[in-house]
Amino acid sequence: MDNVLYRKVRQALERSWSAETSVCFSPDAFPSYGQCAQTAIVVWETFGGEILRTTGWHGKGNHFYNHLNGKRYDFTADQFSMPGYSYELTYEDHQSNADEAECEALPGQVDALRRAFRLAFNDAAQPIHQHGLAR
């Protein structure tokens, strides 16, 4: 995934994340907050590669991200730099899959992100404000 495609994916995700895709969604939080499992699944379905996981915030839960063409892509890493939620994530790169990641999402969240991402990705030409991009 080159930088142009990375930015297009990130922009489409930012347009797609909503209260429908995560109960953590809030105007006071980064849009990626609580979106890791859903995002990893949708990116995997769209681009292939692998879904990886690591221990989440302060050793509780899991954090999911992608591995494509020999490179790690974590489209939701910026959530760990939010004020009041800062956490230095260590990537353990454990093999995972869509079934395991989907267990971390509520019913309907993956489908909601899948639908929204497809629309936004096809219309990703419009610029949006981005929080720090983490790769």
| H helix and E strand count, the chain | 4, 4
| 116 within 8 A of 11, measured Cβ to Cβ | no
Distant-in-sequence, close-in-space partners of 79: CB < 8 Å, separation ≥ 6: 29, 30, 32, 33, 34, 35, 36, 85
- pLDDT, tens digit, 9 for 90 and up, residues 73-118: 999 999 888 887 777 788 999 999 999 999 999 999 999 999 999 9
Average pLDDT over residues 67-74: 97
User: What six digits make up the tokens of 83?
Assistant: 């004020």
Please say whether the beta carbons of 93 and 52 come within 8 A: yes
Cα radius of gyration rounded to whole Å, the chain: 13
45 CB-near residues (< 8 Å, 6+ apart) = 98, 114
**Residue 26 contacts residue 33 (beta carbons within 8 Å):** yes
Nearest to 16 by CA among 5, 33, 6, 31: 31
Question: Residue 86: what residue type?
Answer: S
* Residue range 54-63: mean pLDDT, rounded: 81
**pLDDT > 70: percent of the chain:** 88
